Amino acid sequence: MTGIPVKESSSVLPHCHALRPLDPARRVLGSTFRRRWFELWERLSLRSRILAAIVLINIIAALAATAVVVYDARQAAQAEMAASMRVAERLVHAAVERSGAGTPLTALFRNLVLELGQLRHVRILFADSNGALPSLLPAEALGTAAGPETRVPGWFTALVRVDDIRREMKIVSDGRLRGSVVLVGHPADEIAEVWRDTKHLAIIALAVNLTVIAILYFTLGRLLDPLTGLAQGLRQLERGQFRHRLSRPQIRELAYIADHFNALADRLRAAKADNGRLTRRLVSVQDDERRQIAAELHDEIGPCLFGMKANIASLDKLAAEAGGKLAAPLRERVATLGEITDRIQMLNRGLLGRIRPMALGHVPLAEIVTGLAADFERLNPQTKVTAVVGPLADSYGDSVDLTVYRCLQEGITNAERHARANTVTVALSECSGERGDGPEALSVLCLSVRDDGPGMARRAKKGLGLTAMEERVRALGGTVTVAGTPDGGTRLEVTIPLAEAPRGCEPGESHR
C-alpha cells in the first residue's frame, strides 16, 4: 500500500513593468481629488474631525485585524488539515491490517466510512482496481456532502485561500491491487469555524465602536460647547458688541480662555468708550470754534460792512453835490465800492450759513428741518420736498442738531443734483434702538431722506460730502446707510444715539 504525496501548487509572479510617469490628465484628476478632499475636510467642525479620525483609526484597526485573522485562519487550517490527514492515514493503515485478504472490498470501505466519518477536515473517496466506485456504499463515502462551507461567504473563503490536500492510499493484497482510498483534506470546517468566531467578534466590535462613537459625539459636544460660545463671542466683538461675556466653563483650560476673553471685552469696551468720549469732545470743540467764528463774522464783520455801506452812500451823496469833472469818476468808484461791499456781505452770509446756521439753538429743530425743506423746494421748484417730523425735543445739543442739519442738507442736495428726483421725502423722529456695545435699548434719532430718482449706480464712489457726513455721524456713535429702494429710488438712513448726547447746549456753552 502506497500513498500519493500532496501536490503542491505554485504561482508565477508576473513580470514587473518599468514605472512610467503619469500622464497630465491623471495628474490633474489626482490634484482635483486632493483639493476637493481638503476642502471637504476644512468644512468639517472640530467634533466631526475628531470623530472622523476615530472612525479612520477603527477602519485601519479592522483591516489589520482582518489581515491577522486571515493569516491565523490559513495557518490553523493548514495545521488542522495536516493533523487530520495523519490521523486518517493511521486509521486507514490500521483498518487494512485488521481486515484479511478475503474481506470484501465493500465491507472494508464501509468500515472505513464508519471510522472516518466523524473526522473533521477529511473527505474520503473509494475506488476499486478498475477505478470505479463500488456499489452499496453509503452516500457519506463519496465525500460530496456540502458542509459548513456553504454558509461561509465566498469572499472570506477567497481571502483565507487554503488549498485542498489530496492523498491516495492503494490497497494491495497478495501482490494484487484491489482498490484505493483517496483522502482529501478540506479546510471548509476550519474556515467555517473561523468565520463564525470572526463574525461574532465583528458584531461585538461594531456594537462597542458605535457605542464609543455615540458617547464621544455627545461628550465632545459638551466639551467643545465652550469653544462654540467663544466663536460666537468673537463674532459679537467683531460687530462691536463689547458687552458680551462668556460663562466660565468647568474645564480649567477653557475657563482660562473664557476669563481672558471677558477681560479683553472689558478693555475693548473701555477703549471704545474713551474713543467715543474723545471723538465727541473733538466734535464739540469743532462746533464751538465754528460757533465762535460765526459769532465773530456776524457781530464784527457784519457791523463793519454796514458801516462801509453807510459811508459809501454818504460818498455817493457828496459826489452828486460836488459836481464838476470829478463827480462822474467819483460816482463810478463809489458804485464799484458798493458792489464790492454787497458781494462781501453775500459771501459773509453764505459763509455764516456753511459754518453754522444762525437758527440753531434759537429755533426748535423741527422748525429748522421743515424750513430747510421749504427753502430747497422754493429754490428748486421742479423738485417737491415733503418733510414728516415726529415728536422731537427743541434741541439735542449743538453737535446733534448741526449733524442732523448737515445730513439733511447733503441728502436733499444729492437727491436734487445727482438723482434729479421729482419728489423727496424727509422723515425725522425719535425711535428706539440698541447700543453699539450691548443689547440695552435707548433712544435714537432717526433721519430718512428718500427720493424717486433712478437709484444708485453699482460701485458708485462716495463723494466728499457723504464721506464727511459719515465721519461726523460715526463720531457721535451713529450709523449712515445709503441703499436703493425696491421702486428704484435711493434711501439715506441716519441714526444717532441720544443716550450720551445731552440735550440743549453742551456743558460750558451758551447760545448767542
**Does pLDDT of 3 surpass 50?**
no
**Does pLDDT of 511 surpass 50?**
no
Over residues 9-26, mean pLDDT: 46
Distance between CA 323 and CA 44 in Å, rounded? 100
Return the closest-CA partner of residue 404 out of 387, 418, 417, 424: 387
**Does pLDDT of 176 surpass 80?**
no
Average pLDDT, the chain: 75
Cβ–Cβ < 8 Å for 86, 190: no
**Does pLDDT of 458 surpass 60?**
yes
Per-residue pLDDT tens digits for 337-351: 888 888 887 887 777
Residue 429: Cβ-neighbour burial (10 angstroms; 0-12, 13-18, 19+):
middle
Return the closest-CA partner of residue 368 out of 360, 377, 356: 360
pLDDT at residue 141, as a whole number: 44
Is pLDDT larger for residue 72 or for residue 114? 72
**Where does the pLDDT of residue 437 fall: very low under 50, low under 70, confident under 90, or very high at 90 and above?**
low
Supply 407's cell numbers: 445730513
pLDDT at residue 6, as a whole number: 36
pLDDT at residue 324, as a whole number: 67
Following DSSP, what letter does each residue of 298-366 receive, concatenated? IIIIHHHHHHHHHHHHHHHHHHHHH-STTHHHHHHHHHHHHHHHHHHHHHHHHHHHHH--TTBTTB-HH
Per-residue pLDDT tens digits for 190-202: 888 888 888 888 8
Distance between CA 122 and CA 114 in Å, rounded? 13
**Where does the pLDDT of residue 29 fall: very low under 50, low under 70, confident under 90, or very high at 90 and above?**
low
Over residues 263-268, mean pLDDT: 89
248 bridge partner residues? none
pLDDT at residue 221, as a whole number: 81
- The helix/strand count (H/E) of the chain reads as 11, 8
**Does pLDDT of 13 surpass 60?**
no
Over residues 318-339, mean pLDDT: 78
Distance between CA 243 and CA 233 in Å, rounded? 10
- Most confident region among 176-185, 357-366, 385-394 by mean pLDDT: 385-394
Cα angle: 19, vertex 24, 26; to 5 degrees:
70
pLDDT at residue 134, as a whole number: 52
pLDDT at residue 310, as a whole number: 82
Domains defined for the chain, CATH in brackets: 43-210 (3.30.450), 360-506 (3.30.565.10)
Supply 346's cell numbers: 453775500
**Does pLDDT of 236 surpass 60?**
yes
Distance between CA 252 and CA 467 in Å, rounded? 48
pLDDT at residue 148, as a whole number: 41
Place of cell 475636510: 41
Over residues 459-484, mean pLDDT: 79
Supply 162's cell numbers: 487554503
**Where does the pLDDT of residue 504 fall: very low under 50, low under 70, confident under 90, or very high at 90 and above?**
very low
pLDDT at residue 204, as a whole number: 92
Cβ–Cβ < 8 Å for 141, 124: yes
Distance between CA 331 and CA 261 in Å, rounded? 80
363 bridge partner residues? 360
**Does pLDDT of 223 surpass 50?**
yes
Supply 503's cell numbers: 440735550
